[in-house]
Amino acid sequence: MLRFTIKRIAGAIPTLLMITTIAFFLIRLAPGGPFDRERPVPPEIAANLDAAYHLDEPLPMQYLYYLGNLVRGDFGPSFKYQDYTVTELIWQGFPVSLKLGGIAIVLALLIGVTLGTIAALRQNHLTDYLVMTTAMTGIVIPNFVMAPVLGLIFGVYLNWLPVGGWGESLRYAVLPIIALSLPQIAYIARMTRASLIEVLQSPYIRTARAKGLSLTTVLLRHAAPATLLPVISYLGPATAAIITGSVVIEQIFGIPGIGRYFVQGALNRDYTLVMGVVVFYGALIIFLNLAVDLLYAALDPRIRHAQRSPGKRNAR
């Protein structure tokens, strides 16, 4: 397992380098610059600003400067948020996004697996149709539509919950969490249903039932590990997307998370801030996918056997 982990980390370095390279040059293609104003500054001041941030250098040199700083863990200063580095801004927004996204993905997992299991056990019955119809509705309606509707109903009409801002009270997080988790609940419910229906038709499940084991025991002890494999595969990128990609939700509810900084950085042509969020996002996806692979191997003994088998063959 240790060898597998080291190999995956080593293979992730070229991927992260490719992401950094593509993002660096793409953002430079956008019109405008970080120091553009409605009223242009004097040429000498603009030249001093460009020189201070190496923007007067050729683009390949700027790329090398950025890579050199990135290797040292330095994302550079923000061009728009004065007296703040990109690292400071990311670590200001990330705890908020982590709390928001973490609760949303746990809620989606619990509800989605439960609904998918109920639908699979009641296949082609009314309960199955209701669950799948609701899941399709959650998939079809995007969260940037659902979020204002939830705010209008529960914040404006019923006046139960705040529709914006961020505070110590959990009440501020309820609507954003629901808006974030609804599409994930739908996806997880559909995957769980399809996977469980297939698993229940497996010979070893039929054998367990023939031995007189209760349905609860068969589901928890025998069917659950195989059923959850596709769900676990989905959780890696889904968790990263919720934590760092909840851009629209954070903008709608005025939440100071990492997604909001990304939007503001893109609008302001804050190159270093956008690059920092992209690199951080890429590293997070790689880490979560690695964690998913390790959990996948823990649930499926065949994967562990496949990892050990080359060594056994060499020993022979």
DSSP sequence for 242-281: HHHH-HHHHHHHT--SHHHHHHHHHHTT-HHHHHHHHHHH
Lookup: tokens for 202: 């497996």
- Residues facing residue 77 across a β-bridge: 85
Distances (CA, A) of 198 to 112, 204, 230: 17, 12, 12
Burial of 255 (0-12, 13-18, 19+ CB in 10 A): buried
Q: CA-to-CA distance for 89 and 99, rounded, in angstroms?
A: 16
Select from 75, 104, 51 the least CA-distant residue to 262: 75
pTM for this predicted structure: 0.74
Q: What is the reported pLDDT for 52?
A: 65
Distances (CA, A) of 281 to 60, 97, 115, 199, 211: 23, 12, 30, 34, 49
**Helix 171-200 × helix 224-245 angle, to 10°:** 150
Q: What is the reported pLDDT for 43?
A: 63
Are 302 and 308 within 8 A, CB to CB? Answer: no
Full pLDDT tens readout for the chain, 316 residues: 667 677 777 777 888 888 888 888 888 777 666 666 545 555 666 666 666 666 767 788 888 888 888 888 888 888 777 778 888 888 888 888 888 888 888 998 999 899 988 888 888 888 888 888 888 877 777 777 888 888 888 888 888 888 777 777 778 888 888 888 888 888 898 888 888 888 888 887 778 778 777 777 878 777 887 788 888 878 877 887 777 656 778 778 878 877 777 777 777 777 888 888 888 888 888 887 777 777 766 666 555 544 554 444 444 4
For the chain, domains (ranges, CATH) are 86-268 (1.10.3720.10)
